[in-house]
Amino acid sequence: MLRHVIIAVAFLAASSPATADLVHVRVVTVIDGDTIRAVMPWGAIERIRVLGIDAPELGERSPCPAFGERAKLHLAGLLRQGPVTVETGRRDRYERVLGVVRVSGQDVAPLMIEARLARPYDGGYRQPWCGA
């Protein structure tokens, strides 16, 4: 019995997200302009927050949901252009994986900023995207 427990713990340690720095993922959905849901190599479906940007909110939380929808569609278009990798990091307070998201090796954060659909973000106070 103890042998099975040791083998199971060794397997979980080898396949857990804590051991992966750069992983290939399959995007399941784009939640908004800075968050995706993806299948990780170990089979889990994770919410991944694109590190380094803040995009406009969607739905009831946003005074301008159309702008949030544009950001979401733009990110979805970028992620369809090639293989997606994530350089995993820690989790945020919402239990999302924080990571650098790349498509065909290119970081999507600067591309979203260049398109004026996201702003640089380091975890501090976020500025509103449109009038209250």
Active site residues: 49, 57, 96
Task: With beta carbons less than 8 A apart as the criterion, state whether 42 and 17 touch.
Answer: yes
**Cα first-last separation, the chain:** 61
User: Does an H or E element contain 10, and which?
Assistant: helix 2-15
Q: In the numeric block, which tokens belong to residue 50?
A: 């694109």
Q: In the numeric block, which tokens belong to residue 1?
A: 């019995």
Helices (H) and strands (E) in the chain, counts: 3, 8
Beta bridge partners, 49, equal 35, 98
What does DSSP assign to residue 91? E
